[in-house]
Amino acid sequence: MKLKIYSNKTNQIIHSMIIPNELLNQYDINVNDDDFTELFETEILNDIFEQNNIELITWEYIIENTYYELI
């Protein structure tokens, strides 16, 4: 699965990475779960922002100024 994070202002990709199954397993997240999106956003996506120094003010700031897609 590939993650792309975009800026809402420019629609440019600001971060891209492969999400390996091992990472999902590490967080105990199953892609077939009904709450996959919520778990992914609150667990993995938040950590990705922190680990890659993507500037954050609050979680609301992330939602307002970026969007992502999983392919």
Residue 56 in this model has a pLDDT that exceeds 70:
no
- Give me the pLDDT at residue 57, please: 44
- Give me the pLDDT at residue 37, please: 93
Helix (H) or strand (E) run with residue 3 in it: strand 2-7
pLDDT band at 64 (very low <50, low <70, confident <90, very high): low
Query: Each residue of 15-50: pLDDT tens digit?
Result: 899 999 999 999 999 999 999 999 999 999 988 888
What DSSP state is assigned to residue 57? S
> On the CB side of 21, how many CA atoms lie within 13 Å of its CA?
2
Handedness of CA 20, 22, 23, 28 (dihedral sign): positive
Question: Quick one: which of 33, 41, 43 has its CA closest to 67?
Answer: 41
- Give me the pLDDT at residue 63, please: 55
